[in-house]
Amino acid sequence: MSYLAESRISEALGHLLEILPSQTDVYIVGGALRNLVIEMIYGRPPITVDIDIFLGNCHSLPTLQPSTVTDLGGLAWHPGTCPVSFDICLLKDFVILRKNRLLPSLNNLMASIDFTMNTLIYDVRRKQLYDGGAVHDIEKRLMEFHSPVFYSRPLTVYRILLLRSKTDFMLSPTVFRFIKHQVDLDILMSLKRILASRYDREGRKALLQEYDRICAFPDYQEYVTNAPEAVPPGEGS
Q: Which residues of the chain have pLDDT under 50?
A: 236-237
**Per-residue model confidence (pLDDT) at position 236:** 46
Question: Are residues 63 and 9 located together in one domain of the fold?
Answer: yes
| Alpha-carbon gap, residue 196 to 191, rounded angstroms | 9
**Per-residue model confidence (pLDDT) at position 227:** 96
**Per-residue model confidence (pLDDT) at position 45:** 83
**Percentage of the chain modeled with pLDDT above 90:** 71
**Per-residue model confidence (pLDDT) at position 86:** 93
Question: Are residues 31 and 131 located together in one domain of the fold?
Answer: yes
**Per-residue model confidence (pLDDT) at position 186:** 96
Q: Map residue 76 onto helix, strand or coil.
A: strand
Report yes or no on 147 lying in a domain. Answer: no
Question: Are residues 185 and 97 located together in one domain of the fold?
Answer: no
Question: Are residues 29 and 114 located together in one domain of the fold?
Answer: yes
Question: Are residues 83 and 60 located together in one domain of the fold?
Answer: yes
- Residue 7's CATH number: 3.30.460.10
CA distance to 115, 153, 182, per residue, from 193 (Å): 23, 13, 18
What is the overall mean pLDDT for the chain?
Answer: 91
Question: Are residues 130 and 195 located together in one domain of the fold?
Answer: no
**Per-residue model confidence (pLDDT) at position 237:** 41
CA distance to 18, 33, 80, 89, 115, per residue, from 4 (Å): 16, 10, 16, 19, 23
**Domains identified in the chain, total number:** 2
92-150 pLDDT, tens per residue? 999 889 888 899 999 999 999 999 999 999 999 999 999 999 999 999 999 999 988 88
Last residue of a domain, one of 138, 165, 194: 138
Report yes or no on 89 lying in a domain. Answer: yes
**Per-residue model confidence (pLDDT) at position 7:** 76
Q: Map residue 77 onto helix, strand or coil.
A: strand
Domain of residue 198 covers 152-230
Report yes or no on 143 lying in a domain. Answer: no
Q: Look up residue 185 and give its DSSP letter.
A: H
Question: Are residues 14 and 128 located together in one domain of the fold?
Answer: yes
